[in-house]
């Protein structure tokens, strides 16, 4: 299977798909989800889930606009691929979770379930590197905030979110996610169908860039560092993949 670009989406299509996974990446990696999250997405495709990874640029504070554009792009790709009759699962990482929450709440698409990995809904000054330093240089920035704001996002989800089956994944060494907050919010709406899983890993564990590193004829310190980086990237990927597949299997059988 090779990645193909369909209606601006990156797509993997197994011959006999069980369902469709609509994937959205985190803020700084969302522009190339097929690269940044290649390992986990390709593993899911090998287990017969069609992957539609929609890229987006985090170049606006208006997250409603991003949600609208992503939703429309996915619908076009799904129709063009003749996947309209397969169950659809949303899956997001970090900011991608927020965009999925907005899509589900504002447009109410039919979803068999959603997967939220390391959800992040922080304000602009906490999410954007050097925001406070830039605000000191550009005073207008000090009053800028994402729309909807974190609080408004929670209100929108509480009032409008209707997808009952949800898997939430939190990593032990992740101090910037808000999965626990999201779990409380969704469990109030769907007390029996929200599963929270806590796994070993960090905020970037779901990223699975397969580092292609060929050591030289004389193994050097640089080779050792490269091997260590590769091991660190992948050491918790397999556990995450098993959890995702186990939950998806329950929803499709």
The pLDDT tens digits of the residues spanning 184-212 come to 999 999 999 999 999 998 888 887 655 44
Per-residue pLDDT of 109-142, as tens digits, reads: 999 999 999 998 865 555 544 344 444 565 544 5
- Other CB atoms within 10 A of residue 175 CB: 7
Q: Are 73 and 7 in contact (CB under 8 A)?
A: yes
CATH of the domain at 168: 3.40.50.1820
Query: Domain range spanning residue 67?
Result: 4-252
**Greater model confidence, 183 or 227:** 183
Q: Which DSSP string do the residues of 25-82 spell out, in sequence order?
A: --TTTTT-HHHHTHHHHHHHHHTTEEEEE-------SBHHHHHHHHHHHHHHHHHHTT
Out of 45-49, 86-90, 207-211, least confident range: 207-211
Looking at the 3D structure of the chain, how many domains does it have?
1
Question: Residue 233 — very low, low, confident or very high, per pLDDT cuts 50/70/90?
Answer: low
Q: Is the pLDDT of residue 92 over 60?
A: yes
Residue 65 has pLDDT above 80, yes or no: yes
More confident residue, 204 or 54: 54
**Cis preceding-peptide flag for 253 (omega within 30 of 0):** no
The pTM of this model reads 0.85
Which band of pLDDT confidence, cut at 50, 70 and 90, is reported for residue 226? very low
* Helix H or strand E encompassing 224: helix 221-234
Where would I find the H helices in 110-205? 124-127, 131-137, 150-160, 179-189
């Amino acid at each position: 299977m090779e990645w193909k670009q369909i209606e601006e989406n990156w797509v993997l299509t197994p011959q006999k798909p069980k369902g469709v996974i609509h994937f959205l990446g985190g803020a700084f990696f969302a522009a190339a989800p097929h690269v940044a999250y290649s390992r986990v997405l390709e593993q899911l495709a090998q287990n017969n889930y069609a992957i539609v990874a929609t890229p987006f640029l985090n170049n606006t504070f208006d997250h409603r606009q991003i949600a609208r554009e992503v939703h429309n792009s996915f619908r076009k790709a799904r129709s063009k691929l003749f996947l309209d009759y397969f169950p659809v699962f949303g899956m997001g990482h970090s900011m991608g979770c927020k965009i999925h929450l907005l899509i589900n709440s504002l447009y109410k698409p039919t979803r068999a379930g959603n997967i939220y990995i390391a959800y992040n809904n922080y304000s602009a000054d906490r999410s954007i590197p050097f925001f406070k330093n830039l605000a000191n240089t550009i005073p207008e920035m000090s009053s800028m905030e994402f729309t909807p704001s974190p609080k408004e996002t929670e209100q929108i989800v509480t009032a409008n979110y209707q997808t009952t089956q949800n898997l939430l994944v939190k990593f032990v060494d992740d101090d910037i996610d808000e999965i626990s907050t999201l779990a409380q919010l969704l469990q109030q709406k769907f007390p029996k169908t929200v599963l929270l899983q806590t796994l070993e890993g960090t905020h970037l564990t779901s990223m699975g860039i397969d580092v292609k590193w060929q050591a030289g004829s004389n193994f050097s310190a640089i080779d050792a560092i490269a091997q260590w980086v590769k091991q660190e990237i992948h050491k918790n990927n397999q556990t995450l993949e098993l959890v995702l597949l186990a939950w998806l299997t329950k929803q499709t059988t």
